[in-house]
Chain A
C-alpha cells in the first residue's frame, strides 16, 4: 500500500465503481452484487466480535432476524410504518437485546460462549415459530417495492457504513486497541485498567446492531420472511465461514470471504439448483482453512503475512523441518 492519499483515492475509486454497478449490470448480476454487499457487511459485523474480540458467536442470526422481523411486523398491514422507521426500530431492538444478553453471556469464554449464543438464537427461532405477531411458521409478507436499484444502494450504504465504522472504530481508535488487548489476554488488559466487560459489551452491541440493519433491508428486498429464512442457524454459520475463509480479525478478511463464498453459493445454485451441497462445501471450506490456512485468504497476499498453506504443504512433503522460518507465532 502506498501513502495515505493514494489509499483514499483507491477507496473513492472503488466506491465510484460500486455506485455505478446498477447502470452496468443486468438484473441477475445486480441481485448477486446486492447479495454480496449484504454478506460482506454481515461478515464484517461478525468479525468485530469474532475476530477483534475473539469471541466466536454462533448466534448472530438472532440479530439479523430481529431486524428482519422489525421490518416485517412494522411495515405490514397492521402498522404500515415507513421503511426507515422499521429499520431504526430493528437496529435499536437488536442493540438493546445484545446489551441485555451480552452482559451475562460475555462472561463465558470459548466454546461456552459459542454454545450460549447458539442456544439464544435458537430460542428466538422457536419463539418466532410460536408467537402470533411473527406469523408463526407461515411467516410474514411485506409490501413489495420492485426497485432493484434501491436495494442495491441500500445495501451499499449499509456496507460502506459498516466498513467505515469498523475501520475508524477498530483500526484507528483507542477502542480498537482495547478490544485487541482483551482478545490477546483478558487478564493483562484488565490489569492495564481496561474495563474489559464494557469493551466486550460495546463490541457485541456494535456487531449486533449492523446485522439488524441488513436484516431489515433484506426483509424489504425479499418481501417474504419466515423463521427459518431469517433466524435460521445457517445465517450465523455463513458469517463464521466467510470470516474464517477471508481471515479472522483482519480488516479486509470478511469482504474477501463474503465475495468468494457468495459466488460459490450462487454458482452451485444456478448450475445444479441444489443448496444442500453448499452446506457440505461450507463445512469443507472451514475444515480446510483451519488445517491449512488458519489466517485465511488474506494471508496469501504477498508480503502481508506468511504463507501458511504453502508452508504446510511443503512441510508435509518433508522439504521443510517443522519449525524453520516460523519467526512470528501470532498473527
Chain B
C-alpha cells in the first residue's frame, strides 16, 4: 500500500511539470492551429541552457529560470512569424505544410545540438530542495516538491494572464475563431507571436527543471514531444482543466507502469494509450479533430 501511494505521489509530482510543458503547447495549438513537433526540443534546449549557464555563471539553476524564460521567449517570438506565414500562406494545404515546417524545426534543433554538443548526458545539480519531506510513510524528494510548487505557481500565473487580462481575452478570442477575432480588430499575427513566445518560454523554463530532476541529452526531446502530444490529445483541445488532469494522469501512469510493469514497458504503454485515445475517440477527446 505504501509503495502504491509512494508511486502515485511521485507521479503527481512529476505530472505537475508535464502540465507545465503541455499547457503552453495546448494554447499554441489552439491559437496558431499548428501542432508544434518541436515542443520536446524546447524542453531539451531549456535543459542545455540551464546546464551551460549554471556551468559558466555558477548560479544555482533555480535562479536561472527567469533567464531561460526570457531567452526562449525571445527565440519563440522570432520564430513565430515564420510559422504564422506558413500556416496562413497561399499554400495548397497550409495545415500539412505547417506540420512539416515545425517538424523540420525540431530536426534542426536536435541535429544541431547533437552536432555541436554531442551525445553526452549532462546533469544539472541544484542546492534547492536537498532534504526529503516525509508525509506519513511517503517520502517526497525536496527538489521535486519545489519544482512541482514552482510549476503550479507558473501555471496559476499563466491562467490568471489568460483569463484576467485584455491580452488573455484576445488570445482566447483568436483560439476560438481567428477570423472573427481579426474582424473585431485583434491583431491575429501579433497575438500568435505572443502566444508562441509564451509557449516557448514556458516550455524552455520547464526544461531547466527537467534537467535538474533527471538529466539532459540531445535526444531527450522526443520523449517530451510524446508527453505533450499525450496530454493534449487526452485533454481535448481548448480544455485547460483537461490539460491539468491529463498531465497528472500521465505522471501517474508513467510512475505506475515503471514500478509495476517494468521500466522498459513505460513507452510502450504511453504510446499505446496515446494511439488508442486518438483512434477510439477522435471527436470526443479532440473536439476539433476534423478541422485540421
Q: Is A191 an interface residue (CB 8 A)?
A: no
Partner of B279, one of A108, A109, A241, A330: A108
Contact of A126 with B279 in the complex, beta carbons under 8 Å: no
- Max count, chain B CB within 10 A of own CB: residue among A119, A237, A241, A329: A119
Q: What residues of B have a CB within 8 angstroms of the CB of A109 in the complex? A: 289-290, 292
Contact of B35 among A115, A122, A281 (CB under 8 A): A115
Which chain B residue has the least Cβ–Cβ distance from A237?
B107
User: In the complex, are the beta carbons of A286 and B268 less than 8 A apart?
Assistant: no
> Which of A129, A284, A294 gathers the greatest number of chain B CB atoms within 10 Å?
A294
A206 contacts the other chain (CB 8 A): no
Interface size class of B (residues with CB under 8 A): 35 or more
Contacting pair B290 A274 (CB below 8 A): no
Tell me the complex Cα distance, A279–B119, Å: 13
* Pair B111/A281 contact, Cβ less than 8 Å: yes
Against B, the Cβ 8 Å flags (1 = close, 0 = not) of A270-293 are 000010111111111111001100
Interface of A is mostly: helix
B264 within 8 A of A: yes
Are A329 and B92 in contact, CB atoms less than 8 angstroms apart? yes
A276 to B226, CA, bound (A): 21
Complex: how many Å from CA A111 to CA B87?
A: 13
Q: How far is the CA of A112 from the CA of B284 in the complex (A)?
A: 13
Instruction: Using CB atoms, name the residue of chain B closest to A249.
Output: B92
Q: Are the C-beta atoms of B279 and A326 separated by less than 8 Å?
A: no
Among B188-196, B202-210, B269-277, the stretch that binds chain A is: B269-277
Given A291-B86, A291-B101, A115 and B278 contact (CB-CB distance below 8 Å) = yes
Q: Does B52 contact A (CB under 8 A)?
A: no
Verify A331–B92 contact, CB threshold 8 A.
yes
Q: Is A130 on the interface with B (CB-CB < 8 A)?
A: yes
Q: Given the complex, which residues of A lie within 8 Å of B229, measured CB to CB? A: 115, 119
Complex Cα spacing A245 to B100, Å? 11
A110 at the interface (CB under 8 A from B): yes
Residue tally, chain A, CB below 8 Å to B: 47
Is B114 at the interface (CB under 8 A from chain A)?
yes
Cα-based distance from A116 to B226 in the complex (angstroms) = 11
CB contacts (< 8 Å) of B93 on chain A: these are: 54
| B176 is an interface residue with CB less than 8 A from chain A | no
- Per-residue contact bits, chain B 63-103, to A (CB 8 Å; 1 contact, 0 not): 00000000000000000001001100011110111111101
With the chains together, A54 CA to B96 CA distance in Å?
8
Contacts A280-B112, A283-B105 given: A126-B100 contact, CB under 8 Å? no
What DSSP secondary structure best describes chain B's contact surface?
helix
> Do B278 and A108 touch (CB < 8 A)?
yes
The one of B105, B114, B233, B289 in contact with A279, judged by C-beta atoms closer than 8 angstroms, is B114
Chain A residues lying within 8 Å of B222, measured Cβ to Cβ, are 233
Contact assessment for A123 and B275 in the assembled complex, using a CB-CB cutoff below 8 Å = yes
B129 within 8 A of A: no
Most buried by A among B34, B114, B271, B272: B271
B215 in the interface, Cβ–Cβ < 8 Å? no
| Cross-chain contact of A112 among B82, B112, B282 (Cβ < 8 A) | B282
* Residues of A72-115 whose CB lies within 8 A of B: 104-105, 107-112, 114-115
| B271 CB contact (under 8 Å) in A56, A119, A326, A331 | A119
Closest to A117 in B: B275
Judge whether A330 and B114 touch: CB under 8 Å.
no
The closest CB in chain B to the CB of A243 belongs to B100
In the complex, A127 has a CB within 8 A of chain B? yes
A105 and B275 alpha carbons, distance in the complex (Å): 9
* B279/A105 in contact, CB under 8 A: yes
Interface centre among B82, B103, B286, B290 (most CB of A within 10 A): B103
- Nearest chain-B residue to A126 (Cβ)? B268
Separation of A112 and B234 alpha carbons in the complex (Å):
12
Q: Tell me if A235 counts as interface (CB < 8 A to partner B).
A: no
Q: Is the CB of B97 within 8 A of A284?
A: no
Verify if A36 is at the interface (C-beta below 8 Å from B): no
| Interfacial chain A residues near B96, Cβ < 8 Å | 54, 56, 110
Does residue B267 face the partner (Cβ distance < 8 Å to A)?
yes
B268 to chain A, nearest CB (A): 4
Q: How far is the CA of A120 from the CA of B275 in the complex (A)?
A: 6
CB of B217 within 8 Å of the partner chain: no
Question: Is B108 on the interface with A (CB-CB < 8 A)?
Answer: yes
Report the nearest A residue to B218, measured CB to CB.
A276
Minimal beta-carbon separation of A253 from chain B (angstroms): 14
Residues of A with C-beta under 8 A to B104: 241, 282-287, 290
B interface residues (Cβ-Cβ under 8 A, vs A): 34-35, 82, 85-86, 90-93, 95-101, 103-112, 114-115, 222, 226, 229, 233, 264-265, 267-268, 271-272, 274-275, 278-280, 282, 286, 289-292
A sample of 11 cross-chain residue pairs with beta-carbon separation below 8 angstroms, ordered by A number, consists of A58-B103, A109-B290, A110-B96, A112-B282, A119-B226, A130-B268, A240-B100, A278-B111, A279-B111, A280-B108, A283-B105
Ranked nearest first, the 6 interchain pairs of A and B with the lowest CB-CB distance are A283-B107, A280-B111, A286-B104, A110-B292, A279-B111, A283-B108
